[in-house]
Amino acid sequence: MPKASNLRPQAPDFPSGHSQLRHGRLDIRPIVLNEDLAAMVRAQLTNFFIFLGEGEQHSAVFADVIVRICQKAASVEEMEKEMGKFCTDEAITDKFGQVVHERPARICRHIIPHLAGERVLEIGSWNKMVGHGIVAMTGKHVEGTVYSEGAILPHGTKSFDTTVCIAMLHHVNDPAKLLSEAARVSSRRIIVIETINSPQENQQMVHTFMDWFYNSILHGLTNLPYNYRSPQEWEQLFAQNGLKVALSKDMGVDNPLIPVHHWLYVLER
């Protein structure tokens, strides 16, 4: 069995922080074919199911089933189909939907102190719950838009005071293009929360697995290029787009369901 430090999934290049996958699915199977990484994934999945309300023993069984599906599948498509069926049959997807609503409230508490002006655009939220939370907590005018790869946002230049982009940049093939569009429609600020690389490669592999499970299996997303970056690399991207970092804040592991590391940036034109 190869050592974990020599094993990589098909796409992400974690040392540089950038993925080379374009318009395709990440083959997650090599992660769980490594004994050490598979054990870490099982432990993380067990904690995930316990958080959903399953008993400890039941959670460990669920985690083992998911790892075995990944290990035995002949293709990414077969793996996702079998895992989707298992999560549906065991009501995992439904239980996840019942608890995930807590996350937008936490996000709102982080970003509301930094909103400038009364007009806010939220880019890319899968359920617009962050935008709804901002309206409920502040009374500001909030609009939501779903970003399509490479598209021009259907809004005029400087039509919003603040644009909010939550964990979106690492999910598009060209984050610079999305960022430039966010800057175009914003007159004052852009607030970004992004996933960052773990300094420990093995832990980053586990985070990648959980990010895939969260987005592909539970949310049905298929274009997941995993453009992870370090905090310094994100700031370089912002600077390249003419944006100044007014605030850079380490949020740590802020989501108990999917424990990946997040960073908050307040950007100004």
- Map out the domains of the chain as residue ranges: 4-10+24-98, 100-199+209-215+222-268
Q: Does residue 7 have a pLDDT over 80?
A: no
The fold of the 100-199+209-215+222-268 domain, in CATH, is Rossmann fold (3.40.50)
Between CA 57 and CA 62, with CA 58 as vertex, the angle to 5 degrees is 120
- Alpha carbon distance 17, 196 (integer Å): 8
- pLDDT on residue 6: 35
Measured between alpha carbons, how far is 190 from 166 in angstroms, rounded to an integer? 10
Per-residue pLDDT at 148 exceeds 50: yes
Q: How far is CA 39 from CA 111, 134, 148, 205, 208, in A?
A: 36, 39, 36, 12, 15
* Predicted model pTM: 0.82
**Left (φ > 0), alpha (ψ -120 to 50) or beta: where does 158 sit?**
left
* 25 residue type, one letter: R
How many beta carbons lie within 10 A of that of residue 6, not counting itself? 7
Tell me, what's the pLDDT at 22? 32
pLDDT at 11: 32
Decide if 167 contacts 211 (C-beta within 8 A).
no
Residue 12 has what pLDDT? Answer: 31
Q: How confident is the model at residue 1 (pLDDT cuts 50, 70, 90)?
A: very low
Judge whether 147 and 123 are in contact, CB under 8 Å: yes
Average pLDDT over residues 234-242: 94
Number of H-type helices and E-type strands within the chain: 10, 8
CA distance 176 to 27: 25
